[in-house]
Amino acid sequence: ETGVTQSPTHLIKTRGQQVTLRCSSQSGHNTVSWYQQALGQGPQFIFQYYREEENGRGNFPPRFSGLQFPNYSSELNVNALELDDSALYLCASSLGGTGGATEAFFGQGTRLTVV
């Protein structure tokens, strides 16, 4: 059973650029959630994908978008990067349809720095 893997692990972007982060979910999981963790803060929910459809969104602007593919891997895209987007981005995979009771398995995260 493979775990959740994210790529890249670190990257540096310039304000105004666009970035794509990737996540491979754990085998057998059909749900991927993305979280933003600013320095010294808890993770904040960005959005969730369940069976390739968006299934909930947090308080993030539309320049944060995502995709889930048929193999349940996922991408997070951020357009028009701002300095405040600097954070650790965490991907979590889980088995959806359990009404919130299932364990989420997290990747190691992508550290994004916007300069």
Partner 1 sequence: AQSVTQLDSQVPVFEEAPVELRCNYSSSVSVYLFWYVQYPNQGLQLLLKYLSGSTLVKGINGFEAEFNKSQTSFHLRKPSVHISDTAEYFCAVSAQGGSEKLVFGKGTKLTVNP
Going by their DSSP bridges, the two strands 110-114 and 10-13 should be labelled as parallel
**Which CB, 78 or 90, lies closer to partner 1?**
90
CA distance linking residue 23 with residue 66, whole number of Å: 11
43 lies in the binding site for partner 1 (CB under 8 A): yes
Q: How far is the CB of 56 from partner 1 (least distance, A)?
A: 5
23 lies in the binding site for partner 1 (CB under 8 A): no
87 lies in the binding site for partner 1 (CB under 8 A): no
68 lies in the binding site for partner 1 (CB under 8 A): no
Q: Contacting partner 1 (CB under 8 A), which of 20, 67, 75, 106?
A: 106
CA distance linking residue 87 with residue 78, whole number of Å: 12
Q: What are phi and psi of 49, to 5 degrees?
A: -120, 135
